[in-house]
Amino acid sequence: MRNRARYLIFFQYIGTKYSGVVKVPPHQLPSKGVQDHLEDAIRKLMPLNPVSLSVSSRTDRGVHALSNSAHFDLQRKNNLPPFTEGILIEALNFYLKTEQIRITNAHRVPDDFHARYQAQSRTYVYRIALGIPNQLLLPLTELKFCWSLRNTELDVGAMRKAAALLVGNHDFSSFRAVSTEMAFKNPVKVLDVASIQPGGSFVQSHFQREVLFWEVTFKARSFLYKQVRRMTGALVAVGQGRLSVPQLKEILEARDTMAYPKNLVAPAHGLFLTRVDYRETGGET
């Protein structure tokens, strides 16, 4: 079918009001995931084929994305040729205009391309704001986009030593949350990057007080359920002196989800999926 095409799309969203990125089961309606809204927009293009979106990277309720990705097939009526990438982006964004979701890029890809399985890496950035005893002291533009801590400083040197222990090939069972998929997911992952660097806010120069930001970045081909938020929480605990570097190493080596201390998981709203990279498209552009 010459007028049937498979597209890889890149999209961003503010995750605050969505139940997560994946579609919501019927029994959980009227709550909706980002995927539900994307599929609704695709259906408004009136394709002949049933609409089914395959999302590359799962994010939970409250987590944001600067660049997630997905693929889908689209066959137009009346033997019309496939949409160009530019027209597709414009049309989908028109139908998404009332949502906090935007398509940023699109590519025609081979019919056997899979957005999830062919992703070469995923990058997450977790944003932390220091010296904030009350969330109301944050700029409005940061309220749902960082983890605000009372601490005016963190022991970043200790955090970096702890982060270095996480890099490489490990069984990350201690850093995954309990889920129904646990029995089917290999807990061994290769973490390519775990870094802690100064961050910032684009409103900083216009705000009446200085807010110190740090960004924790993780890059790997794939992650376990809530692995990034659990690693972030543990690293912050090291920075606060609540957990030592040897204790974090013990948690990692325990290879047991129950070894992870209670009440350490970083909240969802500070986390951003920033990149999904592919060989086929030369990376997210």
The domain that holds 195 is classified in CATH as 3.30.70.660
pLDDT reported for residue 1: 58
Give the annotated binding-site residues for substrate.
Answer: 124
Give the range of the structural domain holding residue 225, as residue numbers without chain letter: 124-275
Q: Decide: 127 and 35 in contact? Cβ < 8 Å.
A: no
Query: What pTM did the predictor assign?
Result: 0.94
For residue 174, give the 3-state DSSP assignment: helix
In a domain, 99, yes or no: yes
Give the annotated binding-site residues.
Answer: 124
Question: What distances in angstroms separate CA 234 from CA 181, 222, 229, 242, 244, one per listed residue?
Answer: 23, 19, 9, 9, 10
pLDDT tens profile 3-31: 899 999 999 999 999 999 999 887 777 88
DSSP label of 280: T
DSSP label of 60: B
Q: How many secondary structure helices (H) and strands (E) does the chain include? A: 5, 10
Whether residues 98 and 137 share a domain: the answer is no
pLDDT reported for residue 208: 73
In a domain, 250, yes or no: yes
Last residue of a domain, one of 90, 113, 136: 113
Last residue of a domain, one of 113, 132, 156: 113
Last residue of a domain, one of 113, 140, 155: 113
In a domain, 285, yes or no: no
Q: Which of 76, 77, 101, 75 is nearest to 89 (CA)?
A: 101
pLDDT tens profile 119-167: 999 999 999 999 999 888 898 889 899 999 999 999 999 999 999 999 9
pLDDT at 109 > cutoff 70: yes
Whether residues 150 and 195 share a domain: the answer is yes
Which of the following is catalytic: 60, 155, 171, 277?
60
pLDDT reported for residue 280: 58
Whether residues 104 and 141 share a domain: the answer is no
Whether residues 188 and 214 share a domain: the answer is yes
Whether residues 84 and 172 share a domain: the answer is no
Whether residues 136 and 74 share a domain: the answer is no
Concerning whether 60 is annotated as a catalytic residue, the answer is: yes
pLDDT reported for residue 24: 85
Whether residues 203 and 148 share a domain: the answer is yes
pLDDT at 284 > cutoff 70: no
Q: Which ranges in the chain belong to alpha helices (H)?
A: 34-43, 85-95, 156-166, 227-240, 245-254
Whether residues 146 and 176 share a domain: the answer is yes
pLDDT reported for residue 125: 98
- CATH number of the domain that residue 91 is part of: 3.30.70.580
70-74, 78-82, 117-121, 168-172: range with lowest mean pLDDT = 78-82
Beta strands in the chain (DSSP E): 4-13, 54-55, 64-75, 101-109, 119-130, 147-148, 168-171, 188-198, 212-220, 271-278
